Amino acid sequence: MKHEDLMAGLGSGRIQKAPENFLGRADIETVAVEAKKGRRDFIRGAFAAAAAGMGASNGLAQGNPVPSEGGDTNILNLPAHSTGLGQGVVTDGYGKPSQYESNVQRRQSPGLTQTAQASVSFSPLQSLFGIITPSGLHFERHHQGWWDIDPSKHRFMVNGMVSKPHVFTMDEIMRLPSVSRFHVIECGANTAAEWGNVAVPTCQYTHGMISCSEFTGVPLITLLEIAGADLKNGKFVLAEGGEGSSMTRTIPMSLILSGEVLVAYGQNGEMLRPENGYPLRLVVPGVQGVSWIKYLRRVELGDKPYATKDEAIHYLDLQPGGLQRQYSILQECKSVVTTPSGGQVLLDKGFYNITGLAWSGRGKIKKVDVSVDGGRNWRQARLETPVLSKALSRFNLDWVWDGKPAIIQSRATDETGYVQPTYKLLREVRGTRSIYHNNAIQSWLVQENGEVKNVQLS
């Protein structure tokens, strides 16, 4: 984009935020109740009502505009913060976001499940920058509720095909040589609702079961070696969670031998959050979220896959011919445009920064192409640094909206050359009745009135 174009566009390109930025908790509950009664269109209606009722309270300048006749008091008069005394240090021993950002929240999808202990909350992707998910906005997936476990009593056992079975305390683990790495975790069921057709209105709900953090911990291989693991005959590790869900997953030894799998206690520079497995969780880069066992209490080394309940009857991919695919643990290359995205409203013609996220369970992102005409023409987006393996990557692209309908898509390619598929291509192979591993290209329709809608192209 040329400098003159940018300057000409200043003052235009305003965006109204997606409705979850101003839907209150009570509104969400009403939506959930109505959805339970089978009123599927109610969700959409509630979002529309919230959008219509949005006032200046959301902290946007468009609710507090610069008067065209001049004389803007916001620049002419000195505000209190320019003349008075601010607040002192340690007003809050653990800082919080601004009061004007209080609607940036992880949220439960209205009507998705009736039990909060066996549910999901989605990260507000449309409100985040860069690649790191603030820990308080990390998505959550619990099968049996979350706990805040006393680390002094937490134990981690290594047994199975090992010569010296060992029970570690947290102190022991945290004394060992540690590594810190940035990785993305995506639930295998991310975007699950969209397999058959468009189901949810905004990218928080289409793609929000994903988060990216810096994790700190000890490579699992180190702990196995301390326990005298039989690395010649041991081919699989069973990892077990400590809370009531008895979440157990088989991890192939090949992933562990590379040193990539971590027994982690740190997340974004501090201890893990209780919702994310405090005090110990498994980090399995590139692999679907369910294998990232939280409240990790045991690993067992064995010589074959364990076919646990969460591998034999859940987390299967139903194929078009009726067969079930098992152990499809890798998260393939995928991307999503987070702005403009569903529920947002473009208020002007003119310059917009198209931005989004891309990732691959196979390694680094090589490039992201963006289309604004439903896939006829593509332009390569700018990949922002750092571009890390098995982590989120941020892309940006300049765009001038001419006020006509536009269909915005992103298509990611990873370093292995794998290209993110269209819905048409994915459904040819996988059918429409799957739950997991939907990595299709997402389409957002910008309508002439500026409203952005979730659509699927056939």
Give residues in contact with Mo ion (CB under 5 A).
141, 187, 289-290
State the residue for tokens 């040193």: 259
Site string for ligand MTE, 294-313 (x = CB under 6 A): xx------------------
DSSP 150: -
Reported for 250-258, long-range contacts at CB under 8 A and 24+ positions apart, including other chains, are: 250/305, 250/306, 250/307, 250/308, 250/311, 250/327, 251/282, 251/284, 251/287, 251/291, 255/284, 255/286, 255/287, 256/220, 256/221, 256/224, 257/221, 257/231
Residue 143's binding partner among Mo ion, ligand MTE, none (Cβ under 5 to 8 angstroms by kind) is ligand MTE
| Helix (H/G/I), strand (E/B), else coil: 16 | strand
Nearer to Mo ion, 289 or 356 (CB): 289
Interacting partner of 140 out of ligand MTE, Mo ion, none (Cβ under 5 to 8 A depending on kind): ligand MTE
φ, ψ of residue 358 in degrees (nearest 5): -135, 150
The answer to whether 187 contacts ligand MTE (rule: CB under 6 A) is yes
CB of residue 141 to ligand MTE, shortest distance in Å:
4
Pinpoint the alpha helices (H) of 258-375: 309-312
Among 43, 173, 293, 329, binds ligand MTE (CB under 6 A): 293
CB within 8 A of 327, min separation 6: which ones?
250, 305, 311
User: Residue 227: which of ligand MTE, Mo ion, none does it interact with, CB under 5 to 8 A by kind?
Assistant: none
We find the least distance from the C-beta atom of residue 381 to ligand MTE, in angstroms, to be 27
Burial of residue 258 (CB within 10 Å: 0-12, 13-18, 19+) is: exposed
* SS3 label, residue 105: coil
Q: Which is nearer to ligand MTE, 13 or 361 (CB)?
A: 361
| 3-state DSSP assignment of residue 404 | coil
Using the contact rule CB under 6 A, the part of the chain among 92-100, 285-293, 350-358, 398-406 near ligand MTE is: 285-293
Nearer to ligand MTE, 276 or 439 (CB): 276
DSSP, res 80: H
Interacting residues with ligand MTE between 102 and 161 (CB under 6 A): 138-143
Provide the minimum distance between the beta carbon of 188 and Mo ion in the complex, in angstroms, as a whole number. Answer: 6
**In the complex, which residues of this chain contact ligand MTE (CB under 6 A)?**
138-143, 185, 187, 241, 243, 245, 247, 275-277, 289-290, 292-295
